[in-house]
Structure 1
Amino acid sequence: MNYNNYIGIDISKGKLDLAVLNQEGELILYQCLNDKKSIIKCLGEIFKESNLSKEDTLIIAESSGHYINPLIWSIIAENYLLWIEDGYQIANSQGIRRGKNDEKDAEMIAIYGKRFSDRCQLVEASSECIENLAYLNSERELLTKEMVKYDQQLTDHKEYVKPSFYLSRKKRYTELIANLKTHISEIEQEMEKLIENDPKLSHYAKLLRSIPGIGKQVSIATIIATKGFTKFTDPRKFACHVGVVPFEYKSGSSIRSAHKISQRANKKMKSLFHLASLVVIQLEGEFKDYYLRKQTENKMSIINAIRGKLIHIVFAVIKRNEPYTKEFKPSFQNCTN
C-alpha cells in the first residue's frame, strides 16, 4: 500500500516525540505524555491540523519494550495504522550519525518509514495480546533464573559448609524455591488463558504443539518472537534471527574462518530450539534416524541442522494451516554447516 504521510514516534518512559512527514516533505514536531489519553488527544490534533486521513498515514515506532504499550492501546482503540520496527534495524539504515536527541530520532524514524514503507507490517488486534504475553514471559524468565540460582547454591554448598549453617540456609532456600515455583505456575496459567482467549493465537499454539519437541514454552516464545507470525513469515529469516544459520567470512583470497554461526542472534530462542532438538532425537522417527546416521560427524553441526529443520516445520504447519503428522518427511538439505 502507498502512503502519503508518515509519523515517526520516539518513545521514552514519560513522553513521546512525534515527527510528522507530510506529502510535501515538511517535517512538523510534536510532543505528548506517554499515556493512552494524551496519545489519543495528540494524534487527534495532528490529524486535524495537518488534514491527514487514517487510510494513507503510516505511524512508525521502534520497539521499546513495555513503554510502547500505551501507544498500541491507542492505535487499536482509534484504528490508526502502526508499524513497529526493530530499533537496531532503524539505526543501521541511517549511515554515519553524530549527536542524538529525541526529536532527531523521531525525524529519523519518520524518514525510515517513508523509505522502507514497502516492508511495513501493521499492528493487528492480536499485537496487544502478544505484548501482554511478552511481559508475562519476561517475568517468568526472571523468576526461573532466581529459582535456578537458589537451587544451584544448595547443590554447591552441601559438601563445603558446616552442616548447621547449610541446613538453616537450605530451609530458607527451600521455602523460596517453593514460592517461586508457585508464582511461575500462576504466570504460566495466566499466559495460557491469554492464548485461549485469542482464537488466532490459540490456533497457532495448537498447530505448533503438534510438532515433536515443541511444547508450551517453545510455542509461546515462538509466537512472541514472530509477533504472531507477522514479523517473520520466512523460516530462513527466522533461522538467521535465532542464530542457527552458518555464514562464511572471507574477503578476496583471505578466508577469516570456516562457516560459523553469527553471535548476533536471539540467544533465548536458540536455547529453546536446542532443547527441542535434544527431545526429538530421543523419539523414534526421521530426526533420530538422521542423528544416528550422522554420529561420526561434528555433534553440534548435527544438532544445529535439526534446530534449523524444526524451525522450517514450525513455519510449514502455520502456512499449511495443518497440524504436524508422522507422514511429514523432513529434509535436512541446506540445514547443515
Structure 2
Amino acid sequence: MPTTTSRRGLLFGAAALSGGALLAGCTSNESKDEDSGNKEQQVADEKPGKEVTIGFAGPQADHGWLNAINDNAKERAKKYADVTLESTEGSNDTAAQIGQVETLINKKVDVLVILPADGKALTQVGLKAMKAGIPVVNLDRVFASPQAYRCWIGGDNYGMGLSAGHYIGEKLKDKKNARVVELAGLDNLELTKQRSKGFDDALKNYPNIKKVARQAADFTVESGQQKMSQLLQAQKNFDALWNHDDDQGVGALRAIEQAGRDDFLMVGGAGALSAFQAIEADDGVLKATVLYPPTMAASAIDLARALGQGKGVSGMAEFEIPSFVTCYSAVVDKDNVEQYMPTGFK
C-alpha cells in the first residue's frame, strides 16, 4: 500500500509532516477572477482571509497520543493570522465536555472541532451546534449520527492492522511455518477489534504464516510489560510481534529486554517519538510502527478554517470540503523514519 506525496495525498494520506502539509501548504485562498463574479472554486491557503473563531473541545491528555492531539490543534491554529482558537480544558468526563461545548456554542464560535470523550454521549450537543448554524468537525471518535457533524476526520484502525500484517507478511513470506503473536489493546473497544481484524485479514495473504497467540493489554506501559511477559513465557519461539500501541510498547520492550529475547521482529502502532528513535537506532527488535497520526488534529483545524471561510480543498473539483476524511496508516521503518520524526509524540 504505497504512500503518496501528491497534493491530494498530503491531505488524505496519514501523517503528513506537521510543519507544512495538508490543507495549509497545498492550497490557495484566492479564487480566480473573483471580482468578476466567476464561480470557479475558492480554496483555503495560509494567506490571511476571513477571520474565523474555532472552538476546540479535546480530550484530557492522559495518554501520549491524546496529548499530541491537543498540541497539534493548538500549534496549527497559531500558524494562521486569521484564526482565533477557543480551547476548552481537556476532559474525559462526558457531562463536563458537553458543558464545555455548550459554552462554545453560546460564545457563537464560527466552527467547532470536537474529539468527544464518548461519541454517542456527545451526539446531541453536536446536533445542537449544527442546528445553531455552527459546523462541526468531528475528530476521530465518531458521533452516533452524521447529522451531528459537517465533516469527520480520523484514523483507520482496520488499516493499522492491515498495514502491520502486510509489513510482517512481506518480511516473513519466504520463511516456512512462520509464527506471529499479537499484543492488542483494550478488548472492549471497537478500535481494538478493528485493528485485530485488519491484521488477521492481511495475514490471510501469507499461507506460510500462522498467528499463534494474542494478548490484550490496556494501552499503558505497565500493562504492556505485564502482558508481553506472559506472551514470552507462553511462546518460546515466534518470528514477529505486532503491538497495537507504542505507549504500551514501551513496557513490552522492557519485558523483551528482561527476557533477553532478540529472535523476532516487532512492529508497533500509533507513532510515538520513542518508537521512531528505536527504529532509527536499529539496535533492537522494533523495526517499524504503523501510524495513527495525531497530526489529524492539525488537519481538523485546517478543515475548520476552510469551513469558516466557505472555501474548498485544493486538488478536488468540488466547491466544498469532503464530509469524511480517513487518514492512511503508513508504515514507518528505518528507510523513512527521518521524514516522520517531527510528528512523533512523547
TM over 0.5: no
Q: TM-score, normalised by structure 2?
A: 0.27
Larger Rg: 1
Greater helix fraction, Structure 1 or Structure 2: 1
Q: TM-score, normalised by structure 1?
A: 0.27
